[in-house]
Structure 1
C-alpha cells in the first residue's frame, strides 16, 4: 500500500484528498503563494471531503512568512452563542451529540480563510475559491472514505442533509459523481462578498432563520459578533528544533509537553518499532493528557499555566515517573476523531500547516436550510457540570482537538505535519516527528510505518491501545505484559487517523508524504 516520497525542488502540497491537493497546485501555478494555495486546499476539502470538514466547521493555522521570518498562529474556532448556557439543557446530563441543539458554536472557517488570504495572499478570495466552487457545482468522484462514513453515519443526518448526502435515500456509490449545488451557491456568495457574506449577510441570515425555526440557539447576532484571532504560537525546543503549536483553546501544548518528556530519553539506544519505542511514547502522552484534561478550555475564561506545564524541569520530573516495564493507569474521555490536515510550501519559503473539522463525521448531521452547509457539533464537547473546567458558558470557545504542527531550524521551517483524529493527534504527531528526526525517515516512510492510538472511542468502555497488526507479535505481547490493553487493528487502519507531512532539507528540496489510509496526494515540483 505504500509508495515513495514525492520530492519537489520548489513547492509541495499535501492533503487527504487528491483533488484538494490539485486545487492548491493549480493556485500555485496561477501565481499564488502558499497562503493562497492553502486557502484553496482548505476550501476544496470543504467540498470533496464533506464528511470530515466544511464551511460550517472550524480551522486552525500555523503560518510562516519568509518576508517576516516568523511563525504565527490563527485561531479559527467559533464561540458558543451569546444566549447559549447550561440552562438551555436543564434536566439533561449532556449536550446532544447530534441534531440542531448540538450546533451551538459559530463556524470559524470562513473567517480564517479571509484572515490568512487577506493577510498574506496575492490573489483575491474569489480566485482561490474557484476550484472548490467548480468541484461543488460540477461534481467530483465520491471518495471511498466518504462512502464508508455515509454508511456509518447516514442515520444521523437531518432531512436537508440526507437529501444531499443520501440522494433517493441511498448512499451514493464510491466513484459516482457527487454534486453540491447549494454549497456551490454559498461559496459563490462568499467569493463575491467576502467574510461578511457569511457572518453579516445572506448566509448568516439563512442559517439563523433555520436555527430559529428548528429549535436551535445560534442567532444572527452570534454570527455578526464572530472574530477569529492571530496569536503567538506556543513552542518548545526539542533537540535544537523550535517546535510550534497553536495555543489554547487548542490541545497543541499536549504534544509539546510530550516532547519535553521524551527529550529525557536516548532514542539512539531505542530501536524503532521496538517495545521500548511504543511503550515510551504511550506513557509520555498519557502524562501530557492528564494535564491537558485538567486545564484545557477557553483561556479567556480560565488561566492555563503553560509556563509551568512546558517548563523543562517539570518535564524531567514526569519523565522520571515513567516505568520501563509497567503501563500507567489513566482514564481520558473520548474527544472525537474526524478531521482533515493539510500543508503547503511554496518556492519563496512560505509555509502553511493547517487543520479543519466538523468534529464528528458530518458534524451535527444538520444542513442549514438551503445553504448546503453542514453545521459542526464541536460545542457538544462542553460539559454541563458547572464545576468542570470546560463547562458551557455563553460566547465561549470549547476545548479543541485541532492542532497543526511546524518545526523550524535556524529560524526556517523544516517539518510541517499533522493528522486526523481527536485523542490521536498528539499521539501520531509524536510518532511522525520522532521517526523523521531521530530515525531519519522521510515523510512518506514516517506516515506509512505502523501506528497506534491509545484511549477510548465513543461507546467503548476501555482505554485500549489500538495497534496496527504490522507491529511485530513479540512487541504486542510485551506491551500486553506491561499492562497495556492491546487490541490489534488492520494493517493500515483508518482508526489511527490520516496523517501527512512535509520536510525541507538543507538543499531546499521539499519532500511530501500522504497517508495510504485515505484518498490523499502529495504534489510538488
Structure 2
C-alpha cells in the first residue's frame, strides 16, 4: 500500500466496467458507452476517436492503430492491424537519387495512407454492439463545441507546433500560437468528417470529397499518392505473438509492429537475477539498458511488413536471447547498437477498456511524430501521419520503403495472460521506448511484486541513440554509478512514455491504473 502522506494516486477499482486512458474526457465517454449497453470494443473506439480531438498532437483520423482484444467468454487474444500502406508509386531509389539518406519526416514522402478509420469501421460492425453513429457522437460533439486544452497536451503542443505547415497552422493554432492550458480547441472540419463517416461508413473517408481533400494536400507537397491508394485501403485481422516471463505470458501485436522486441528483451532479462537487484538501483538499470540495446538492434534488422520479413521466429527463439545475454557485461556499458531504422517519436495515445462480460480491449492509435507530418488537408483539417518515416532507405533491407508496403511501427498494444486467462490489457506509450516500457512494467509486477499503480509510477530509464535517459525520479547517486559504468547519462526534458492498464483480478474485480506522466485517469462503474 502506498504512503498516503506522499504524492501519488490510488488505483481505481470497479466491477461492471473500467477504462484507463490519457485524457479524462475520453475515459468518461468510454464509460458512458458501457452504461448505454455498449461493449469494450464500442467504448474503446469511442474513446480513441475522441482522443484525436483532446490530444491532436498525438493522434487523429489521419493516423493508424493496432489492437489486441478477446471476446466475451474467451481467453484467446485476437489481433487487428489498422496500419496503412505506402502509396503504390513510392520508391526508395527515387529518394536516394534525390540525395536522401532517410525519409524526410515532415514531407509527403513520409505519409502513408491512414488505416485507423478503416479498422474502427470494421471492428465497430463485427465486434461492437451500438453502431458507428453512436460511437462517433462524443467526438463529433467535442470537435464542434471544443475541448479545454489539458496541461500535458499544452506542453506537447508548444514543443511540436513548429512542425505545422500550411493549412495545418490554420487548423491547429489559435491566432498563430499554440493554445494555452484551458483554452478551447475546436475541430469543426473533423466534426463534419466524422458525421459523414457515421452516416456513410468508411467509404466517406477513403473516397469522394474527403479523400480528395487529403490527396490535394499531399500532391501540393510532392506526394505520389493516388485515389486508388486511399480507396483500396483494407486493414486486417492477424495472429498475435507471445512469450513467457516467469509464468506471465506477454502477448504482443505481430509485425509490422515492434512488439516482438519486448518479448526478446524479457527473454534476455531472464538470464539475470533481476529479482535480487534494487528495483531503482544502478545494476538493474544497467542490465535493462544493455538488454534494450541488443533487442532494439535485432528489431532494426528484422522487423518490417510481415509480407517482407522471414526472421521473426529467430528473433523470438530462446537460444537467440541466450546468445545475446552473454554479450552483456555487468560491469561495463557496451557501445550503442546500430541507429534506429525509424525516426524516434514520443507521440501516441493508448486506451484500454474491460467490460462487465470481461471483454478486454488494448488499443493504440497514433500519427507518429508530434502533429505527424505537419501536413493537413485544407477544407477538413485532417492531419496526416508521417508513419512512412518508419521505413529505411537502405537497399535490400526488409523494411525498405516500397509501394504498397507497411512500415515498421513503434506503436504496440499489450496484453498479459496468466494460466491461460486474460489478466491485463496494457500499453506504454513513448515511441521507440514502448518495448522497453512493456518489459519494465512486466518486470516491476513480476520481479518486484509492485502494486499496479506503483509499477507505473516508478521512474524510468531508456538507452536511446547513445544516451541513457534517466528520469529525475532516480537518485543522483544512481546516475553517477551509471556514468561510472560507461553510460552517457542525461535527464530527459520530457517524461519517458505514459502508460495505462487494467488488471482483471482473480476475484473478478477490475483494477485500473493511469500514468501521472499524462493528463488521464482510470474510471469505472
TM-score w.r.t. length of structure 1: 0.94
Equivalents in 1 of 2:47, 2:463: separation in Å?
30
Q: Corresponding residue for 2:335?
A: 329
1:60 has 2:66 as partner: yes
Q: Does 1:199 align with 2:200?
A: no
Unaligned residue ranges in structure 2 (runs of 5+) = 1-6
Q: In structure 2, which of residues 122, 127, 143 is the aligned counterpart of residue 115 of structure 1?
A: 122
Q: 1:295 aligns with which of 302, 308, 311?
A: 302
Distance 2:53 2:512 in 1: 23
Q: Is the 8 A contact 1:327 1:483 kept in 2?
A: yes
Counterparts of 1:263-282 in structure 2 under 5 Å?
263-282=270-289
**From 10, 29, 32, the counterpart of 1:26:** 32
Q: Distance in 2 between matches of 1:413 and 1:165?
A: 40
CA drift of 1:209 comes to 3.4
The answer to whether the 8 A contact 2:57-2:160 is kept is no
| Alpha-carbon distance between aligned partners in 1 of 2:312 and 2:303, rounded to the nearest angstrom | 10
After TM superposition, list the pairs within 5 Å mapping 1:67-466 onto structure 2.
67-89=73-95, 90-93=97-100, 94-103=102-111, 105-303=112-310, 305-331=311-337, 332-333=339-340, 334-456=343-465, 463-466=466-469
Residues of 1 paired with 2:395 and 2:347: CA distance?
28
Partner Cα distance (1:233, 1:167) in 2: 42
**In the aligned structure 1, how far is the partner of 2:295 from the partner of 2:419?**
27
Give the equivalent residue in structure 1 for 2:3. Answer: none
Q: CA deviation at 1:6?
A: 1.0
Q: Count the aligned residue pairs.
A: 514
- Partner SS state of residue 33, structure 2: helix
Query: 1:340 Cα deviation (Å)?
Result: 1.0
- Cα deviation, 1:322-349, whole Å, max 9, x if unaligned, reads 2111112123325222111121111111
Distance between the aligned counterparts of 2:471 and 2:103, measured in 1? 33
- Worse-superposed segment, 256-265 or 227-236: 256-265
In 2, the alpha carbon distance for the partners of 1:366 and 1:212 equals 11
RMSD: 1.7
Superposed CA deviations along residues 372-408 of structure 1, whole A, max 9, x for unmatched, are 2100011123223323332111111111101111011
1:517 aligns with 2:479: no
Q: Cα offset for 1:198?
A: 1.4
C-alpha separation in 2, matches of 1:8 and 1:307: 39
1:347-376, CA deviations, whole angstroms, 9 ceiling, x for partnerless residues? 111001111111110001111121221000
The DSSP-based 3-state class of the residue aligned with 1:92 is coil
Q: Distance in 2 between matches of 1:329 and 1:81?
A: 37
Q: CA 1:168 to 1:253, structure 2 compared with 1: closer, same or farther past 3 Å? A: same
Contact 1:494 1:517 in 2 (8 A): no
- CA spacing shift, 1:411–1:339, aligned 2, 3 Å: same
Q: Is the 8 A contact 1:13 1:24 kept in 2?
A: yes
Does 25-34 or 381-390 show the bigger shift?
381-390
Structure 1 residues without counterparts, runs of 5 or longer: 457-462
Q: Is the 8 A contact 2:269 2:288 kept in 1?
A: yes
SS at match of 2:367: strand
1:483-494 maps to which residues of 2 (within 5 A)? 483-489=486-492, 494=494
Question: d(CA) in 2 for partners of 1:314 and 1:153?
Answer: 39
TM-score (norm 2): 0.94
Q: Which runs of 4+ in 1 moved over 4 A?
A: none
